[in-house]
Amino acid sequence: MDDIEALKAEYLNHQFDEKTFEVDGEKIAAFAAACGETSRRFTHPAHPDFQAPPTFASSLMAGRNLPEGFPLFGGIALDGGKTVEPHRPIRPGTRLIGRSHVHEIYTKTGRSGRMIFIVSRMELSDPEGDPVATADTRLVVREKISK
């Protein structure tokens, strides 16, 4: 557990990536269709209230998933799921700035050994700095036990 506390001290809440996104209406509509969305305000760019579905922020990929040098304990990081908290609608033509940091690190131990969970958070804002959405990506690393 000391190694996890050291990771927290070194990496939690320190921005490690920043990326700018230009939101495109056709990409919004394609994302909505791929998710099975049927509401016209998400699928038809000509709709007067056209906007991205609430989960759209999960499709925006930062330049990095983890800070440089972040240890993976000899394991492989697997996708453990995504969570999006929308703060206001994302509309086409919007410029978003995504800033990423490690938000949480915790462990669970099971029959196969220790698993390390890392939550990487991207906070999306408009150019004025107003929050638009928060997108979390959970990575799961099954620690490789040396023999």
If you average pLDDT over residues 26-45, what whole number do you get? 96
Q: Do 52 and 28 contact (CB within 8 A), yes or no?
A: yes
**Which pLDDT value is given to residue 145?**
66
The C-alpha torsion from 40 through 44 and 46 to 47, rounded to 10°, is: 20
**Which pLDDT value is given to residue 72?**
85
Q: What is the pLDDT of residues 36-85, one digit of tens each?
A: 999 999 999 999 999 999 999 999 998 888 999 999 888 888 999 999 99
Confidence band of 1 (pLDDT split at 50, 70, 90): low
Q: What is the pLDDT of residues 88-146, one digit of tens each?
A: 999 999 999 999 999 999 999 988 788 999 999 999 999 999 999 999 999 999 887 66
**Which pLDDT value is given to residue 122?**
97
Give the fold, CATH level 3, of 2-23+62-142. Answer: Thiol Ester Dehydrase; Chain A (3.10.129)
**Which pLDDT value is given to residue 73?**
84
- The secondary structure element, H or E, covering residue 29 is helix 25-34
Contacts of 51 (CB under 8 A, 6+ apart): 28, 41, 42, 89, 90, 91
What is the distance between the alpha carbons of residues 46 and 17, in angstroms, rounded to a whole number?
34
Please state the pTM of the whole predicted model: 0.90
For residue 147, pLDDT beyond 90: no
Contacts of 71 (CB under 8 A, 6+ apart): 7
Q: Where are the domains of the chain?
A: 2-23+62-142
What is the distance between the alpha carbons of residues 106 and 2, in angstroms, rounded to a whole number?
12
For residue 34, pLDDT beyond 90: yes
